[in-house]
Structure formats: structure tokens, C-alpha cells
Amino acid sequence: EAESGICAACYGVSLATNQKVTIGEAIGIIAAQSIGEPGTQLTMRTFHTGGAASSAKKQTILKSIGGQKVRVERLISYDITQGLNGVTDLLEARVGWRQAGKVAVMAFWAGQVDIVEKVSLTGTKSFEVYVRPQGEKAEKEAEALATQYSFSRTASKTFKKLSPYLPITVVASVGDLVVQKGDMVDAGDYLVDGTPIPHEVLMIRGSREAAAEIIRGVQAIYGSQGVPLHDKHLEVIVRQMLNKVTVIDSGDTNMLPGEIIDRQSFAGKNRQAVAQGNRPASARQEVMGMTRASLAAQSWLSAASFQETTRVLTQAALDRREDRLVGLKENVIIGKLIPAGTGLLTYRNFEVDGTEEAKAERYPNRIWSDQGYDPTDLDSQELSLSVSDPFAIDEK
């Protein structure tokens, strides 16, 4: 809920020191380096191994050996470079062409699974999968849900037009399904196993589950190569991917329908509207890829330094936007001290002064006044230069 950054108690222990993270630590930079550096190492490893790095994933099949059915496990091998492309697709919240045939399909409402076999004129078999709501009330709820969902991708094998009376998906083989005819499923249960689409998971199961699916997918790819990656780093990235909402109803606020805005700004404007007795706005949470989230950052200096510089600067000029210089990149661009570590505004105006006892113990040969210690005023100093004095050279 923090407007900028993350609460130190929520982040927890710093993996570098095994102690509570200090205020001002650049955890975003640490997260990006922790994810990117192993990826670079794994890419270089493929040049030496010929890309034959094997995954830990196993497939169990039934075989008849000596008249008995025996479970046999075989190891499926993957080229790690394909896995890294999968990481890119997950963190960009998109379905790449590599996953087009392996996309998960979910039930959009609760109901009973019905599988209808169809045979084309050429003799090709296909199976239509329905989820039929049970009861009149459930049907009306399913119809209402169907109108809310909009799909911009056909790779999910899901029809553009969604209805409880139409098949959710069509498969070539019943073996592709993880359910059977007559099974009862809830909203969000998988019908076809594969790579989940973050947008659909967010719409059906919520932001927490969408974040968990992205993290699980990335961890599966890194884990298959024996690379340990803490969930904490991925959570920092995914938090930014889920930090935007689209305004649906502006209420009595100055926001516009269709406007994409930060969750914190949206909540702040709603609190202000409620305090004034006005009607708050309503919005739908979005999941954005890293690139799109970076370009939609509040700081136009930060966005312009990343991609599409001309467009970002032109749009910022048209909107008469101001940059409050609260992040790292915008301060680096203009040559200011970055707001991290001791560069935080909280610490900049601090002057640390020791107690009289500490001064006397640390510097026994110095005479302190209200104006501090003046090393050029040698007349007022009683110097004792001896070998036993550890500060003799400094004083001289």
C-alpha cells in the first residue's frame, strides 16, 4: 500500500546481510540483477553444452511389460534458451508463439463439464468442451460473467464470443483435457493444462493468484537448471506489473473512464471523494508487461530514458506533466544525488555529532569547544606526541 517503494517490514530480511532490510535500500535494482544475471550465465552455458541442457520435468506413462502395467518415467529435455524466452513471455504478460499450442484453458464459471464429439467432412475428430451451469440462477450469473470478459488473444484457444451455451474450447484429443465428462468444476479450475494466460487468471481468480502463476512459471524455468532464485525478487517485479487499474466508472472524481492510473493514486482520489461526500470511482485491475509498465511510469524522465523517447516526451509536453524526481533513474539523468541509502531526503539534513564521553574516549588529545574541533588552532591544543599515542600522527 506504500505510495512509493515497499514497506521494510513487508520486504523482510535482506538476503545480502541476513538482517532486516535498511530503509533506502534499492531492492528493485537488486531484484533485477538477481533475475538477469543467472539468465546471462545460463545463456552462455548453452554455447558450451550445445543447448542440450535437460529439464527436471518428468512424464509418467503406462507400459505393458510382461503382461503387467508398469509406470515408466522419462525425462523431457529442453533447450534453456527456449526456457528464457518463456521467462520473457511471462514477465511481459503475453502468450508467445512458442506457447501458442500449450496454453491453459480455465472454466470461467462453475458448472458441469460436458464433452461433445464432432466429426468434420474430412473425417477429422474434435471435441467441444462445455461448462454447463447448474440451475437458472447459475445460468444468469454465467451470462453476466460472459459479458464482462473480453479477449484480445486467440492463442488461448478460447472463443472471442463467450457464452454458457457455447463451447469454451475445442481440442483434438481427449488426452489434452485434465477433466472428464460429468466432472463438477469451479470458476478458475483448469480444463486444459498448459501455460496460463496472466490476463485470464487475473480476471477469474484475482491478482494474488495471477502473481503466483507468473512467479511459479519463472521459478519452474530457473529451477529446472538448478538456479536458486528467491520469490522475493520476483514479487518486487510482479508488484509493478499489477500496479495499474483502468477506470470503469469515474463517479464524482476528476478521473476519466478508460484512464489507466496507479492503484495508490486511484485509492487516494477515492478517499478524497468519500471524505467530501461524493461518489467514488470504480476500476478494473490490469496486468502489464515490464516494458509497458515502465513506459506507463509516473516519471516521464524515467519512461523517456527507456524506450519510445520521442512519443513519451511529446505526450508529457501535451499533458503538461511534472516530474517530482522521486525515483533513481530521473535523478541520475539530471545529475542529482539518488534517493537511496544515505541519499534519502530523510537523511540528507542530518548532522551526526558524538557525545562528550565518546569524543574524549576516541580522541584523548583533542580539546573540544562549542564550535567543534579546529585542527589549525594549534595554540589551544595540548599535543602529546609519543609512540604510545595511537592518534599522534593524525594530530601532527
Question: pLDDT (tens digit, 9 = 90+) per residue, 232-251?
Answer: 999 999 999 999 999 999 99
The C-alpha cell 464459471 sits at 109
**How high is the pLDDT of residue 157?**
47
> Is residue 300 scored above 90 in pLDDT?
yes
**How high is the pLDDT of residue 249?**
92
Give 263-299 pLDDT, tens digit per residue. Answer: 989 999 999 999 999 999 999 999 999 898 888 888 9
Q: In terms of C-beta density within 10 A (0-12 exposed, 13-18 middle, 19 or more buried), how is residue 343 classed?
A: middle
**How high is the pLDDT of residue 209?**
92
Q: Which amino acid is at 359?
A: K
**How high is the pLDDT of residue 236?**
94
Run of H or E including 392: helix 392-395
**How high is the pLDDT of residue 159?**
45
Output 72 or 110, whichever has higher pLDDT: 110
* Inter-axis angle of helices 231-241 and 207-224, nearest 10: 140
* Domains annotated on the chain, with CATH: 8-98+208-239 (no CATH), 105-193 (no CATH), 241-348 (1.10.150.390), 364-395 (no CATH)
